Protein backbone atom coordinates (compact mmCIF):
# COMPACT_ATOMS: atom_id res chain seq x y z
CA UNK A 1 0.00 0.00 0.00
CA UNK A 2 1.27 3.47 -0.88
CA UNK A 3 0.06 6.56 0.98
CA UNK A 4 0.79 9.83 -0.82
CA UNK A 5 0.53 12.60 1.77
CA UNK A 6 0.96 15.19 -0.98
CA UNK A 7 -2.63 14.35 -2.02
CA UNK A 8 -4.09 14.58 1.50
CA UNK A 9 -5.23 18.09 2.47
CA UNK A 10 -3.78 19.56 5.64
CA UNK A 11 -6.35 20.38 8.31
CA UNK A 12 -6.07 22.92 11.10
CA UNK A 13 -7.35 21.63 14.43
CA UNK A 14 -7.77 24.33 17.07
CA UNK A 15 -7.62 23.35 20.73
CA UNK A 16 -7.17 19.62 20.10
CA UNK A 17 -8.54 17.64 23.05
CA UNK A 18 -8.91 20.86 25.02
CA UNK A 19 -5.34 21.99 24.33
CA UNK A 20 -4.09 25.44 23.32
CA UNK A 21 -3.40 26.87 19.88
CA UNK A 22 -3.43 25.03 16.57
CA UNK A 23 -2.29 21.68 15.24
CA UNK A 24 -1.90 21.19 11.48
CA UNK A 25 -2.25 17.60 10.28
CA UNK A 26 -2.62 15.38 7.23
CA UNK A 27 -4.61 12.38 8.44
CA UNK A 28 -4.68 8.92 6.92
CA UNK A 29 -7.28 6.76 8.66
CA UNK A 30 -7.34 3.02 8.03
CA UNK A 31 -9.15 0.05 9.46
CA UNK A 32 -6.45 -0.65 12.07
CA UNK A 33 -5.31 2.84 12.93
CA UNK A 34 -4.09 6.22 11.73
CA UNK A 35 -0.92 7.73 10.28
CA UNK A 36 -0.67 11.46 10.93
CA UNK A 37 2.21 13.77 10.04
CA UNK A 38 1.51 16.93 12.03
CA UNK A 39 2.98 20.15 13.30
CA UNK A 40 2.15 22.23 16.34
CA UNK A 41 2.68 25.98 16.46
CA UNK A 42 4.90 27.43 19.20
CA UNK A 43 2.98 27.37 22.49
CA UNK A 44 0.38 24.91 21.19
CA UNK A 45 -0.66 21.75 23.01
CA UNK A 46 -2.77 18.64 22.68
CA UNK A 47 -4.83 18.37 25.84
CA UNK A 48 -4.85 15.38 28.18
CA UNK A 49 -6.79 12.49 26.68
CA UNK A 50 -7.05 8.70 27.03
CA UNK A 51 -6.25 5.90 24.60
CA UNK A 52 -8.56 3.09 25.73
CA UNK A 53 -8.27 1.04 22.50
CA UNK A 54 -4.99 2.07 20.87
CA UNK A 55 -1.30 2.79 21.23
CA UNK A 56 -0.34 6.35 20.23
CA UNK A 57 3.24 6.52 18.91
CA UNK A 58 4.74 9.98 18.32
CA UNK A 59 8.13 10.27 16.60
CA UNK A 60 9.58 13.79 16.88
CA UNK A 61 10.95 15.08 13.56
CA UNK A 62 11.74 18.68 14.64
CA UNK A 63 11.33 21.07 17.54
CA UNK A 64 11.17 20.65 21.29
CA UNK A 65 8.41 19.98 23.74
CA UNK A 66 7.21 17.69 26.46
CA UNK A 67 4.74 14.88 26.86
CA UNK A 68 2.95 13.98 30.05
CA UNK A 69 1.83 10.34 30.18
CA UNK A 70 0.09 8.94 33.26
CA UNK A 71 1.53 11.83 35.29
CA UNK A 72 5.15 11.36 34.11
CA UNK A 73 6.83 14.13 32.14
CA UNK A 74 8.99 13.22 29.13
CA UNK A 75 11.18 15.72 27.22
CA UNK A 76 10.65 15.78 23.45
CA UNK A 77 13.27 16.65 20.82
CA UNK A 78 14.07 15.57 17.28
CA UNK A 79 14.96 11.89 17.14
CA UNK A 80 13.00 10.68 20.17
CA UNK A 81 9.75 8.74 20.23
CA UNK A 82 6.99 9.18 22.83
CA UNK A 83 4.56 6.28 23.21
CA UNK A 84 1.24 6.45 25.01
CA UNK A 85 0.28 2.78 25.42
CA UNK A 86 -3.25 1.45 25.29
CA UNK A 87 -5.05 2.23 28.55
CA UNK A 88 -2.96 5.33 29.31
CA UNK A 89 -3.60 9.08 29.09
CA UNK A 90 -1.28 11.76 27.75
CA UNK A 91 -0.86 15.36 26.63
CA UNK A 92 1.77 16.94 24.35
CA UNK A 93 3.11 20.51 24.64
CA UNK A 94 5.27 22.53 22.27
CA UNK A 95 7.63 24.27 24.69
CA UNK A 96 9.98 25.64 22.02
CA UNK A 97 10.06 28.76 19.87
CA UNK A 98 9.65 26.76 16.63
CA UNK A 99 7.07 24.27 15.41
CA UNK A 100 6.99 20.83 17.01
CA UNK A 101 6.77 18.37 14.10
CA UNK A 102 5.58 14.82 14.77
CA UNK A 103 4.81 11.67 12.86
CA UNK A 104 2.00 10.05 14.84
CA UNK A 105 0.99 6.42 14.39
CA UNK A 106 -2.17 5.24 16.15
CA UNK A 107 -2.45 1.45 16.32
CA UNK A 108 -5.84 0.03 17.28
CA UNK A 109 -5.64 -3.18 19.28
Specify whether the CB–CB gap between 66 and 75 falls below 8 A: yes
Q: What is the pTM of this model?
A: 0.94
Q: Domains, the chain, ranges and CATH?
A: 10-108 (2.60.120.10)
Per-position pLDDT tens, the chain of length 109:
899 999 999 999 999 999 999 999 999 999 899 999 999 999 999 999 999 999 999 999 999 999 999 999 999 999 999 999 999 999 999 999 999 999 999 999 9
Q: Which residues contact residue 71 at a Cβ distance below 8 angstroms, ignoring those fewer than 6 apart?
A: none
Amino acid sequence: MLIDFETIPEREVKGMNGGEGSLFAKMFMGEHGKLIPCRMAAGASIGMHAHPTSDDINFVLAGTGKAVVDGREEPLRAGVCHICPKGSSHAIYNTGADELVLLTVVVER
